[in-house]
């Protein structure tokens, strides 16, 4: 009898490789056509309820798209410390003093990837499984990460995303001569 655990692991690795190849092909096609495969968070947000001082919305990687169709700036430190990923449902409470308080009310299923942190003039990205995911600068600062560090990121499971949340950082090994 063949060792099924070895076969299962081989199948898992083949599926991950195929998934990464399909994702890379979709990204190249989207770039060539000038389109995006990312979900329409504005459409999702319209299904939520907008009520006076409490507004529900969907996180798009940087901001919350409210049920009222407006975009609300989510503090970068909250997004990074809460490890928000695109698709997470949020509630915005506007206090009597006009303070904005965000609460995560519906996290989406997440998938963990490991990649390498990069920086360019547009900001920070993590290259994982053949795709560059944007990450919030506040998360890079919070984890004291540097370009070249290996980074564990979270993305929404089962859907395309340009954004990821940093879960942890594995510092790059220093080379000694």
The confidence score (pLDDT) of residue 172 equals 61
Q: Is residue 78 part of a domain?
A: yes
Question: Residues 73, 47: one domain?
Answer: yes
CB of 120 within 8 A of CB of 132?
no
Among 40, 19, 4, 41, residue whose Cα is nearest residue 111: 19
**Residue corresponding to tokens 């997440």:** 110
The model's pLDDT over 138-171, given as tens digits with 9 standing for 90+, comes to 999 999 999 999 999 999 998 889 999 999 998 6
Question: Residues 32, 61: one domain?
Answer: no
Token reading at 86: 């695109």
Q: Is residue 152 part of a domain?
A: no
Domain range for residue 4? 1-36
> What is residue 101's three-state secondary structure?
strand
Question: Residues 32, 47: one domain?
Answer: no
Q: What is the CA radius of gyration of the chain?
A: 19
Token reading at 23: 């994702």
**Entry field: residues in the chain:** 177
**CB within 8 Å of 60: residues ≥ 6 apart:** 41, 86, 163
Domain count across the chain: 2
Token reading at 133: 């995911």
Q: Is residue 50 part of a domain?
A: yes
Residue 73 CB neighbour total at 10 angstroms: 11
Distance CA 136, CA 48 (A): 25
The confidence score (pLDDT) of residue 127 equals 95
- Going from the C-alpha of 172 to that of each of 17, 22, 34, 95, 115, the distances in angstroms are 24, 29, 34, 43, 12
Query: Helix, strand, coil proportions of the chain in percent (round to 5)?
Result: 25, 35, 35
The model's pLDDT over 106-125, given as tens digits with 9 standing for 90+, comes to 999 999 999 999 999 999 99
How does 104-129 read in b/e, with b if 16+ C-beta sit within 10 Å?
A: eeebbebbebebebbeeeeebbbebb
Question: Residues 52, 23: one domain?
Answer: no
Q: What is the pTM of this model?
A: 0.70
CATH at residue 84? 2.40.50
Average pLDDT over residues 9-15: 80
Residue 49 has pLDDT above 80, yes or no: no
Element (H, E) at 30: helix 4-33
Q: Is residue 138 part of a domain?
A: no
């Amino acid at each position: 009898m063949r060792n099924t655990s070895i076969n299962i692991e081989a199948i898992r690795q083949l599926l991950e490789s195929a998934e990464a190849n399909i994702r890379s092909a979709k990204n190249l096609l989207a770039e060539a056509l000038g389109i995006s495969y990312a979900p329409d968070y504005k459409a999702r947000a319209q299904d939520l309820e907008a009520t006076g001082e409490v507004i529900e919305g969907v996180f798009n990687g940087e901001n919350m798209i409210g049920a009222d169709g407006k975009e609300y700036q989510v503090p970068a430190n909250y997004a990074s410390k809460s490890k928000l990923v695109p698709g997470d449902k949020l509630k915005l409470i506007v206090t009597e003093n006009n303070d904005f308080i965000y609460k995560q009310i519906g996290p989406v299923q997440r998938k963990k990837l490991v990649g390498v942190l990069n920086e360019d003039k547009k900001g920070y990205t993590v290259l994982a499984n053949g795709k560059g995911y944007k990450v919030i600068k506040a998360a890079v600062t919070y984890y004291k990460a540097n370009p070249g560090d290996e980074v564990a990121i979270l993305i929404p499971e089962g859907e395309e995303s340009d954004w990821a949340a940093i879960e942890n950082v594995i510092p790059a090994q220093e080379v000694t001569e």
